[in-house]
Chain A
Amino acid sequence: MKAWKILAIVLVGYSLYAGLMFDVPRLVILNETIRNLYFHVPMWFSMIALLGGSLAYSFRFLRSGTEGQPSNLDRDNQARSFAEVAMVFAMLGLFTGMIWAKATWGAYWTADPKLQGTAVTLLIYAAYFILRTSIDDPEKRARLAAVYNVFAFVLMIVFIGILPRMTDSLHPGNGGNPAFGNYDLDNGMRMVFYPAVLGWILMGWWIATLRVRLERLRYRNNH
C-alpha cells in the first residue's frame, strides 16, 4: 500500500482519538460541540481539494486535444470521478453542519449567506452531472463538461469563499465572525485540526482514485 494512504489512515485515526479525548477551550453555547470542528470542517476542505483536483483534470483534458493530438478521455473520467466524491463530502459537510447548527443556532437551516451559498454550489455541481448525462457523444460531453467545470469551480469559490465574507453571517469565519483567529482556535486544537484536514483530504483522494480506476476497468471491458 502506498505511503500516503497509510498516512491518511493514521491522521484520521489520530484525529478521531485526539478529537474526543484532548482538552478543548471552554466556550459558551458551543460547549463540547467545539469538537465538531475536527469532523465537520475537514469535510469542506476535502470537498474543495477534490474539486480543485477535478478542475485540474478538466484543464488537462482540454489541453490534451490540442496540437493535433487526440484528446485524452481518461482525464475526463478523472475530472468526473473527483467531482463525484467531492459531492459526497459536500453532503457529509452539509448534514454535519445542520446538526451543529441545530445545537448552537437553534435551527437546522437558516437563511445565512454561507448556507445559501453552499446550497447554490451543490445545485451548480448537480447541473454538471445533468449536463454530462444529456450529451451522448463522449468527446463532446467531455469538452463541454470540462468547460462547465471551470465555471462551476469559480462560482463555488465566489459562493462559499467570498460572498459570505462580505455580508453578515452567523457562520464562523464570515461576516466578521472569527474562525481561525488566534483566540478561539488555540494551539492544542491546531494540533488536532490540521492533521484531521490533511487526513480527510488524503482519504477523499484515495476514494476518488478508486472511483477513477473502477471506471477505467469498466471502459476497458466495454472496448
Chain B
Amino acid sequence: MADIFRSEGKMLVVLVVLGIVFVGLVAYLIWMDRRIKKLEQKP
C-alpha cells in the first residue's frame, strides 16, 4: 500500500506529470485573467 507505492520508486514521475498539468492550467488561467483585464481597461 502506501509504502510499496513509493518504495517501488517512480512515484515522482506521477508527481511531475501532475505538476505539469497543474502548472499548465494555472498559467492558462493567469493568461486569461490578464487578457480580460486588458480588454476591460480599453475604453
Which A residues are within 8 Å of any B CB, using their own CB? 1, 5, 9, 12-13, 16-17, 20-21, 23-24, 26, 31-32, 206-207, 210, 213-214, 216-217
Expressed in whole angstroms, the minimum distance between the Cβ of A168 and any Cβ of chain B is 29
**With the chains together, A24 CA to B1 CA distance in Å?**
9
Expressed in whole angstroms, the minimum distance between the Cβ of B3 and any Cβ of chain A is 9
Are A213 and B14 also in contact (CB < 8 A) when A16-B22, A23-B2, A26-B1 are? no
Which of the residues A1, A5, A17 comes within 8 Å of B15, measured between beta carbons? A17
Are A12 and B2 also in contact (CB < 8 A) when A1-B30, A17-B15, A217-B36 are? no
B interface secondary structure, majority: helix
Interface membership of B8, Cβ < 8 A = no
* B18→A217 contact, CB < 8 A: no
A interface secondary structure, majority: helix
**With the chains together, A32 CA to B33 CA distance in Å?**
36
Which of the residues A16, A26, A210 comes within 8 Å of B33, measured between beta carbons? A210
Q: Which residue of B lies closest to A221 (CB)?
A: B39
* A21→B36 contact, CB < 8 A: no
Are A9 and B1 also in contact (CB < 8 A) when A20-B15, A217-B40 are? no
Q: Which residue of B lies closest to A30 (CB)?
A: B1
Which of the residues B1, B14, B33 comes within 8 Å of A31, measured between beta carbons? B1
**With the chains together, A41 CA to B19 CA distance in Å?**
20
Which of the residues B15, B29, B30 comes within 8 Å of A21, measured between beta carbons? B15
* A217→B39 contact, CB < 8 A: yes
Which of the residues A9, A20, A26 comes within 8 Å of B26, measured between beta carbons? A9
Are A20 and B2 also in contact (CB < 8 A) when A214-B36, A217-B39 are? no
Expressed in whole angstroms, the minimum distance between the Cβ of A32 and any Cβ of chain B is 6
Which B residues lie within 8 Å of A13 (CB)?
A: 22
**With the chains together, A210 CA to B39 CA distance in Å?**
12
**With the chains together, A213 CA to B29 CA distance in Å?**
13
Which B residues lie within 8 Å of A23 (CB)?
A: 2
Which A residues lie within 8 Å of B6 (CB)?
A: 21
Are A32 and B36 also in contact (CB < 8 A) when A13-B22, A20-B14 are? no
